[in-house]
Structure 1
Amino acid sequence: MSPDLDLPQHWKSFLEAVDKQLEIPVTLHCIGGFVVEAVHEKLRNTGDLDYISIHPRGAFRTLEEIAGQKSELARRHQLYLQIVGVADYPEDYEKRLRELDIGLKMLHLFVLDPYDLVLSKLTRNIGRDREDVKDIAQQHSLSFSIVSKRYEKEMKPWISNADRHHLTLYKLWKDFFPR
């Protein structure tokens, strides 16, 4: 199977090294700067691959030993894998995940679709998040109508500080979307 994504070399080397050490298949749902850099091809200086889900759950400790922040691979490659304990993202994101075909055998990386990735940045909303949202929205010609409907249906009912996030989305971010 040939890869459908040309990863930056530093990520490719690191992930291949992780893959070689895994004894069972491990699936990660990835978010954050790695996805922005690797999938959306934005120059981003991130040293971690954030994930919000791991399967099987029992693989967490093994993965942490192999590729966590204090691992030998992390020291050698200056990169690491990190589970995100607190993150907000659309409720049905799993239905829209895309697997990255990067030629690995044991490590399976899935990424949020562009709309879900954008919405995962809503609650933090720091400068680089806004730049990422703007770049991804323009790169993929994202529709504000779709992002707002997804927010209303899959996040607003349960998210804390909904009024603040509503203002961010409808006042600050709206102009980032070309359609």
Structure 2
Amino acid sequence: MSESEQLMVVDEAGQPLYTATRQDVHTQGLWHETFHCFVIDSIKQQVVLQQRADQKKDFPGMLDITAAGHLLAGESVADGVRELEEEIGLVKSFEELHGLGVYQEELRLPGFIDRERIHLFLTDSAKPLTGYSLQTTEVRRLLAFSFAEFARLAEEETTVLTTVEGETIQRNQFVPHPTDYWKTVYAGIKAYCER
């Protein structure tokens, strides 16, 4: 996404205020809306995460949500489903997503203040990791974690995680979402699988 693309600035309740560039939104710390979708395999009890492409401006090479993106000015939350197809080649309708609510996240780094109203979703897919078609400018690769291992992201003391393939991943290799964010996602996954 270009730094000049227009995002809708919103208040903390999600009411639209005015449009601003992505760059202004992040330098001024303006609230805006994003779409996050985690792909799970409920049969294998695994969560799929992406490793961001090395050329990404924000958090290059770090592990993050399976598919995510900013909602542009004029887009609805349902329009965010495009991120699944664009980033990992997974075609889903908005109705095939399971909503986990809205999570408000504020992240402050030097020269970067990210205030997001995150529309959180998950979707179920039995596709193997090799079955996805990655947008290489966005996604370097996909990794799978067991539900139990993924749940450890919600624990402050967790420093190392292990993928289902046995690869060791350091905590500092993940985009720095607060532990409460991971806790919210895991609780949503658990509730979805227990229904």
Q: How high is the TM-score relative to the length of structure 2?
A: 0.30
Greater share of strand residues, 1 or 2?
Answer: 2
Greater share of helix residues, 1 or 2?
Answer: 1
Q: How high is the TM-score relative to the length of structure 1?
A: 0.32
